[in-house]
Amino acid sequence: MSQQSRSCPLCGSDRVSILASVRAEVIVHSSQYYDEGAYERLGVDKDSQFGISKCNECDFVFSAQVPSAEFLDKLYDGGSSLEESVAIFARPARAAYAFKCLSLVLSELAKRVAVDARGVSERRIRILDVGCAFGVGSLGLARKYYPYEVTGIEISSATRSYLADQGMQAYASLEDVPEGLCFDGIILNDVLEHVADPLGLLQAIKRLSAEQAVLWINVPNFIDWRLEQIVSQISSGDMCVPKDMNPWEHLSYFSPRTLNLMMKRAGFYRAKPSVREYPVICDSVFGMPRKVLRYARDLWVNYARSFDSGHVTSGIFVRISGDPRDYAVRPNHIDSE
Ligand SMILES: [Zn+2]
């Protein structure tokens, strides 16, 4: 791997450092989804190195390079049949999570969408599932006479055909969504960490959002202390690291704080504060005690098992109307820019 890095996808700064370099062999060893044939199939050497960068301006962590389109095609071509792929995406653990996300979006929409005396919405509610794959969860709303319009964004044409058969309109990208269509509820389940320009994607979503639109998002959680642990595992030559530290698939490594920062930049604020957030900035003489307190809180959160399984950070965000700067002091503010 060259020790060069792209600039920061969050703030655009070139002041970035390489935190760690992960060997291809470690990536393959660390995930059950790769086998020994992966090197040949992907055209990589066991000793090829893939860098993880950190921005010195905003602390955002990201893959040093973006894999080529050819590499990604090979990476995501699992060779499974449609039936097998649907079964994998709809496995109980994943389906439970997808329905939970959908439930949270609907609960938040229930508070925001205009309804009549019976609680029925006055118009059809538009849901956008970005990176929807086989529509596990959202497809449940695409039924005759249900008061929803469900739209998916899915890059695979075979998967889009499957969705069309099931009654769900899907497009290959956000740019293909017909002009004028605005969504009330948006789902980004395990999507943002995979894209090279997450801020650009979120800004495009904002343009497709209705006033008061509600957005559910979840990404792997690389909270400071967890990231430090993984980086030290990599440096000590550990052959097996958490499988979400994978710079082939994951191009961004969010902490709760950097997720909030990016969402705010894109024009969304968090609907509910979370104990996993970080309002603490270590930029003064009080920095160290604050850091210690923050660390203690993280330990407590971890031992109290407050983290979702699989180290995920997630939340409901709401579209900011007007000038985002007006929201700098919302009660759930997280960061300072
Ligand atoms: Zn940055």
Cα 167 to ligand 1 centre (Å): 41
- In the chain, how many domains are there? 1
Would the pLDDT of 328 be above 80?
no
pLDDT at 271: 82
> What residues have CB less than 8 Å from 226, skipping those under 6 apart?
311
> What residues have CB less than 8 Å from 149, skipping those under 6 apart?
124, 125, 126, 127, 169
**For 151, phi and psi rounded to 5 degrees?**
-125, 140
Residue 119 lies in a domain: yes
Cα 35 to ligand 1 centre (Å): 35
DSSP class of 115: B
Written as one string, the DSSP assignment of 140-196 is GG-STT-SEEEEEE-S-HHHHHHHHHTT-EEESSGGGSPTT--EEEEEEES-GGG-S
Cα 43 to ligand 1 centre (Å): 31
Least confident range of 47-51, 322-326, 331-335: 331-335
Residue 61 lies in a domain: no
Cα 224 to ligand 1 centre (Å): 15
Residue 306 lies in a domain: no
Bridge partners (DSSP) listed for residue 217: 188, 315
Residue 107 lies in a domain: yes
Residue 134 lies in a domain: yes
Cα 202 to ligand 1 centre (Å): 16
pLDDT at 330: 37
Cα 39 to ligand 1 centre (Å): 32
Cα 88 to ligand 1 centre (Å): 36
CB 20 within 8 Å of CB 51: yes
Cα 155 to ligand 1 centre (Å): 28
Residue 3 lies in a domain: no
Average pLDDT over residues 78-89: 87
pLDDT at 329: 33
Find the CATH number of the domain harbouring 102: 3.40.50.150
pLDDT at 335: 37
Residue 47 lies in a domain: no
* Closest by Cα among 305, 268, 264 to 279: 264
Q: Max CA-CA distance within the chain?
A: 65
Average pLDDT over residues 104-120: 90
Q: Is 310 left (phi over 0), alpha (psi -120 to 50) or beta?
A: left
Residue 126 lies in a domain: yes
Cα 104 to ligand 1 centre (Å): 30
Average pLDDT over residues 269-291: 61
Cα 197 to ligand 1 centre (Å): 13
Cα 10 to ligand 1 centre (Å): 5
- pLDDT tens-place string over residues 172-196: 999 999 988 999 999 999 999 999 9
CB 276 within 8 Å of CB 223: yes
- pLDDT tens-place string over residues 138-167: 999 999 999 999 999 999 999 999 999 999
The domain in which residue 143 lies consists of 80-189
* Closest by Cα among 44, 31, 33, 34 to 70: 44
Q: Which two tokens stand for residue 94?
A: 């994943």
Cα 14 to ligand 1 centre (Å): 8
